[in-house]
Structure 1
Amino acid sequence: MPARSSDGLPMWWMDVLDAEGNPTEDRVTTKNYAQASRYEQGSALPLFYGGLTNTFEYNGISFSFFFYYSYGGKNYDYTMSTISHDGSSPGTQLIADELNSWTPTNTNTDIPVFIPNNSYNGNARSTRFLFDGSYVRLKNVTLAYSFPESLLTRIKLSGARVYVQGENLLTFTEHKGLGPEVGLSGFDDNDVPNAKTITFGLSFDF
């Protein structure tokens, strides 16, 4: 759904019908969302997914990581549609991309014109908010140090370890929303994304 270069209003594809009312192979654009045709866009399920993990140890120092990846699948970001309303919901949050909306001097954009209280359905369900669900995420990374036995015997401990651990620190994706992870439905309905966390810890074994 690109913006119309002539006036910036949103537009959608619509099938051209034959004399009997059946769709032909031709398509035209329409500014009336109710006239827009529906088209198959693929599956919400990824083509494949998996993980990569490893641990390295040397002289009491250990470093471990876990990457998770998912490739393929289409996700619909309802959250993005609510913050990309092009002015139809005044007083609510907007995504920064709306600063690049259509104006008479900014016609080379796919973001419709911003009109307060408009009823043009620019954020209605369409491929505007359909994203490739592929991503790679660093789910966990841990750096730790285990104190040597020669030191532990003096303080009557069988083990002691200090560590720093990070969760969800890096995500590589083309998705512009809060997070690329959605359920099997492929529909993000204001889902809370996984938080980035950093934890420092000290553990003892007696």
Structure 2
Amino acid sequence: MQDLIIYDKDNVIVQSEGKVYQDTTINFITDYGEKVNYQTVDYNRTTQTCWLNGEAFQAYPNTICEDILNSIDTLLEKQAKREYILPTLDELKDIKLSEVDTWTADKINGGFISECTGKPVRYDSDKDTQLTMQGIALNVSTERFANEYPLGCPVRGYKEGETEKTIQYLNAAQVYTWCADLSSHIGACKQQGWIKQAQVEAALSKEELDAIILD
């Protein structure tokens, strides 16, 4: 991409450092913040050519044109601020509700505590673990469970106070309890999510939405 300026009474294009600023001349003057004493500019840093007010072969480099090219970041920043439209409250609510959904899913999948073995252990609760254990629970009363898990179903988790996972071997009754505890965990997380959703729906301002903390 060439570094250049195309400037006339209606429109301006500024290309520099691989970036492009394009707007009306009136908006450009506002964004640039300096007076441009030319009616038209056709300036190309790449080919080192300078046309001013329709006159070719003007002195190169041109101080003003170089300053405009060097101001590309400022031009784009001011243009973005000028064109930025504040989202409506409904739009902000949609964004917040999406954040609540993500927060709820993260809590569900982030692990849970079960005392199915008689002691508290923090087990995984991601989707794969949920599906695997649900499948195993369907077979706990069959010969398949006894044949596949003669020592008990191995499930890894963090015992209380420990930082490394260890394997817990769950018998049929313990698998049922594990799944029941997981179900309670999921229900509790969803309940917290519904409360947050209700708070979002009831919010009357951006400030009230910002005050809804997801932790």
Q: Select the structure with the greater relative contact order (CA < 8 A; seq sep ≥ 6).
A: 1
Same fold? TM cut 0.5:
no
Give me the TM-score of the superposition, normalised by structure 1.
0.19
Whichever of the two has the greater Rg, that structure is: 2
More strand, by proportion: 1
TM-score scaled to structure 2, two decimals? Answer: 0.18
